[in-house]
Amino acid sequence: MSSKILIIGAGGQLGQCLKTVAQRRDITEIVFPAEADANILNQAGLESLLQQEKPAFVINCAAYTAVDKAEDEADLAKAVNETGAANLALACASNQATLIHISTDFVFEGNAVKLLTEDDDAHPINVYGQTKLDGEKAVTALLKEHFIIRTSWLYSEYANNFVKTMLKLGAERDELNIIADQVGTPTYAIDLANAVFDIIASDSKAFGLYHYSNEGVTSWFDFARAVFDISETQVKVNPIPGSAYPTKAVRPAFSVMDKNKIKSTFNLIIPYWRDSLVACIDKIKSLTV
């Protein structure tokens, strides 16, 4: 039987983290096709790619993630996040591959201060969240052999993300205003990549929906403060309410996910968010020396 892994969206943040972790773990039966060869809007192309590579697992990191732009580009967000997910699920079904599909905490309304479980009702409050939820539903309807992993506040040494933006702004400015009334959990994409490979290595058939983020809870304000504290960046950070910085898309106020299901099913030990932030900033520093 094949043990090959195929990465869709290989050039994005999580795709690059999967590549880094695969090298660290000496995972060699893994393919990172170019975007042109793995376009999730091209059903025939996906079928051809899977027939050629014959993967046991397909990891879908491809997504439309521009949360505010999605409000104006709803059709494009829907095409990528829902139709694209459906196309990939169909290709996996016809090629006997298991799909690991990455989703988001933004499927939740976020108006209740409680740990969100996989059984809680999802009520998205923006276009991005709705298209990601619709993508989850498409995968669930079309393919039994799937793992859907919702994650949150993803960052790493790769691509554009909150941590790298804060480091850049902190170097340029003396003072920053950061939203303090949106609460969630940052997730180091390297940790998520490790969890994905742990799920594959487990050879488990416990298909379904799972939540994964780092451990702990924080606000964007405290997250920014931690970035500057760890990186020894001197900048004044002011906490502001979300209402003082209106965005086109409404964000969940509280989207802390319960990880007990994924931890108990796959025997995972999940790092605390600040410990992982230290590791990431150390890596960013080493890359810029």
Summarize pLDDT for 189-243 with one digit per residue, the tens.
999 999 999 999 999 999 999 999 999 999 999 999 999 999 999 999 999 999 9
CA distance readout (Å), 172 to 160, 224, 234, 245: 17, 15, 10, 20
Residue 150: its pLDDT value, please? Answer: 98
* Contact call for residues 197 and 7 (beta carbons, < 8 A): no
The full length of the chain comes to: 289
Residue 146: its pLDDT value, please? Answer: 98
Query: What amino acid positions are annotated as catalytic residues?
Result: 128
Token duo for residue 98: 């298991």
Residue 288: its pLDDT value, please? Answer: 79
Residue 2: its pLDDT value, please? Answer: 67
Residue 137: its pLDDT value, please? Answer: 98
Low-confidence stretches of the chain (pLDDT < 70) are 1-2, 289
Domain count, the chain: 1
Token duo for residue 89: 């699920």
Does this model's pTM top 0.95? yes
Instruction: Write the CATH number for 108.
Output: 3.40.50.720
Residue 289: its pLDDT value, please? Answer: 65
Largest Cα span, the chain: 57
**Rounded Cα–Cα distance for residues 8 and 222 (Å):** 33
